[in-house]
Amino acid sequence: MGGGDKPLRLLGGRPLLARVVERLRPQVSALMLNANLDAERFAEYGLPVAADSVAGYPGPLAGVLAVLDWAAAQGTVEWVVTVPGDAPFIPPDLVARLHTARTEAGATLASAASGGRTHPVIGLWPVALRDDVRRALVVEDVRKMGFFTARYPLAIAEWAVKYYDPFFNVNTAADLAEAERLVG
């Protein structure tokens, strides 16, 4: 998309990230951002920002580790939900349905799915897995979310795709144009 922070791209005159925060805030007790480099670019959101603790920008699993470490430092958080900052249509029942799916399946983790696709970045994680995530990244060089989540019982919460995919991800200029159409 020509560089820069995708979550700060405008959709309907508002940053993608503002839309994600707006949809997720009522579903959780706290929010934090995982971002590398200058955290000040997100200052207007008033949220804590944690960088990856694993060098070399190893991908989304390092972001999961950052949020799990942050949650563990809070002392009372047992679960975290992860979503990308460029998915502006996160459903209002995401967290509840992930918890329900995990509980009903007796699973360790839960991921969202839609349109026949699982979205491992959109998931529910027990804070207790943080040492396993760190070991996978640092010792085993695991980079793919799916490779990590395959180690544990994983519940899948499925959402229907009606007028749009609730996990629509803005990755290209064409995606952003489609998101503008959907918002309009």
Do the bridges between strand 109-114 and strand 49-50 make them parallel or antiparallel, or are there none, so unpaired? unpaired
Helix (H) or strand (E) holding 176: helix 173-183
DSSP 128: G
Burial string for 122-153 (b: 16+ CB within 10 Å, else e) reads bbbbbbebbebbbebbeeeebeebeebbeeee
Q: How many other CB atoms sit within 10 Å of the CB of residue 70?
A: 20
Low-confidence ranges of the chain (pLDDT < 50): none
For residue 77, count CB atoms less than 10 angstroms from its CB and return exposed for 0-12, middle for 13-18, buried for 19 or more.
middle
How high is the pLDDT of residue 3? 61
Mean model confidence pLDDT for the chain: 93
In the chain, what are the domains? 6-183 (3.90.550.10)
DSSP 174: H
List all residues 6 or more positions away from 134 whose beta carbon is below 8 Å from its beta carbon: 53, 54, 65
Tokens 């007796």 correspond to 106
Question: pLDDT by residue (tens digit) across 93-136?
Answer: 999 999 999 999 999 999 999 999 999 999 999 999 999 999 99
User: 109, 126 in Cβ contact below 8 A?
Assistant: yes
How high is the pLDDT of residue 157? 98
